[in-house]
Amino acid sequence: MGFQAYQGEGWLLTKAEQLINWGRSRSPWPFPYGTACCGIELMAALAAGYDMARFGAERVGFSPRQCDVLIEAGTITKKMVPILKTIYDQMAEPKWVIAVGACACTGGVFRTYSTQQGISDIIPVDVYIPGCPPRPEGILYALLKLLDKIEEDHPLYKQRQEVAESLEAAK
């Protein structure tokens, strides 16, 4: 769904929620969390050759408080679980997560006691990218899918969910 507006000479009409979503989907601020080999593919996707910046994601940040898209690229060991959770918790709402590669999605080839078998048990994931590793094109495609999702979500979706859950719990 695109940004819908009605335009005439000197005026423009649209809905506030569409305007908010349009703005959010044009300026994602990624937090690149590369923990293993998939991180290299993420670096390639961010660099000039693939140029993630052309989709509005040029402002890569290293403070979770100033980012809204966590891109987790690589294996997460059990020792890293609290760190990943803390990073996610420090990001302000609304926030989204992309899991890059088999390790982030399911633990990948590391069926071991010390490896987290997918990050979705720790934090909510919006887009999963398969592959070991996925190519930078796959990461760009996932970003575009996420931007579509942001555009279609209600801007206050999570807040509405929380209110609904608290009302349900109060019954």
Residues of the shown chain interacting with ligand SF4 in the complex, contacts defined by CB under 6 A: 36-38, 74-75, 101-103, 108-109, 132-133
**Distances in whole angstroms, Cα of residue 120 to Cα of each of 95, 104, 106, 123:** 15, 8, 8, 5
Nearer to ligand SF4, 46 or 147 (CB): 46
Nearer to ligand SF4, 3 or 110 (CB): 110
Nearer to ligand SF4, 43 or 156 (CB): 43
Strand partners, 97: 70
Q: How many CB atoms lie within 10 A of CB 24?
A: 18
Shortest distance in whole angstroms from residue 134 CB to ligand SF4: 8
- Alpha-carbon distance of 156 to 63, in angstroms, equals 24
Closest CA to 105 of 121, 90, 89: 121
Shortest distance in whole angstroms from residue 64 CB to ligand SF4: 21
Nearer to ligand SF4, 96 or 128 (CB): 128
Shortest distance in whole angstroms from residue 78 CB to ligand SF4: 15
Write out the E strands in the chain.
Answer: 6-8, 11-13, 30-34, 69-73, 96-100, 127-129
- R_g of the chain, CA atoms, integer Å: 18
Shortest distance in whole angstroms from residue 154 CB to ligand SF4: 33
Shortest distance in whole angstroms from residue 12 CB to ligand SF4: 45
Nearer to ligand SF4, 36 or 71 (CB): 36
